[in-house]
Amino acid sequence: MTAIKATNIVRHEGHVSRPQRESLLGQQGVLLWLTGLPSSGKSTVAYTVEHALAARGHLAYVLDGDNIRFGLNKNLGFSADDRAENIRRIGEVGKLFVDGGFLTLASFVSPYRADRDGVRALMAEGDFVEIFVNTPIELCEERDPKGLYKKARVGEIPNFTGVSDPYEEPEKPELIIETDTATPPEAAAQVIDLLEKMGKIQPIQA
């Protein structure tokens, strides 16, 4: 069945502006997009950042790849087309969160450069921050808690990024995190330092 696109829709503007919401929260909305190979440490870094920001009194939220596929994107698989739609939907959700003033962390393999660039194109300048969680594939396989690499290498999982499907590294990410040398708290500190430099949050006064 071919989906019918809605045509009789009109965008409505509310009575509370984004700057007003950001003023209430004491922060500026942003979408921090963590990309990298499976088991590279994206989610660990994202949740560590969320916890650190909450400890500083900031409102942050993690959009995690696995969690999203339990609900919003449960009808999507892992073909190139489904991956593209997966990322497109998250980009739209992330844009809404940013408009709400959230410090939003999206943790997705998002292996294709064009899909990530498509999300960037949705956002205003400075609202999208690409973070490359750069981890050697050997370490990803060693860390793999689900045994997915092992299954992929014997053909039990098709279209698996890094094994039977490509991963296109970001060309000009705003931040590169080397998780083979940085601990999760150290990686989180790098992200928070970037947020401070961008003026999304204020530094802690000594």
Catalytic residues: 110
3-state secondary structure of 63: strand
Going by C-alpha positions, the residue among 122, 133, 100 that lies closest to residue 33 is 133
Whole-angstrom CA distances from 124 to 16, 44, 92, 98, 127 are 19, 27, 13, 10, 5
Query: Which residues 6+ apart lie within 8 Å of 38 measured at CB?
Result: 109, 140, 144, 148, 149, 160, 161, 162
